[in-house]
Amino acid sequence: MQKRIAWPSRYRWLHEYLVRKPDAELEYKESWDALLYRLHGKIFALLLRNKTDGTLLNLKCDPYLSLMFREKHPAVLPGWHMNKLHWISLALRGKTPEAVCRELVDSSYAWVLDKLPGYYKHPSSVPPPGGKVPIP
């Protein structure tokens, strides 16, 4: 029996960063063994794993930025099991600087928000009840 997907300890802070994005929703998809982070139903981040690269965080990305990120950061790969033009994978096995991780997540969130209908453009900024976000 395979263990359920979990955040590598060095990157657990990223889970809280993702769910604290305005209007972010978290879903566990058992058939994929993946955590999906959505904005009004659209996935902007996806935590999963593969046998070659280990745990990956797939993020939506502007095609031009995708090339730049992949050239600049060795942990950024073409999106695993996703459209390689619009997705990147961040391999969570190294020491990718926190600022780079935040930039990638912010870029993904902004890309998805920008593609939503106009009435979603001003998401709420209310934190979850209790302040702390449980890590699955």
Q: Of 48, 50, 1, nearest to 28 (Cα)?
A: 48
Backbone angles phi and psi of 7, in degrees to 5: -75, 135
In the predicted structure, residue 37 carries a pLDDT above the cut 70: yes
Chain center to CA of 49: 13
User: For residue 94, how far is the Cα from the chain centroid?
Assistant: 16
**Which helix (H) or strand (E) segment is 109 a member of?**
helix 98-115
CA dist 132 and 136 (Å) reads 13
What type of residue is 69?
F
> What per-residue confidence (pLDDT) applies to 2?
57
Tell me, what's the pLDDT at 1?
Answer: 44
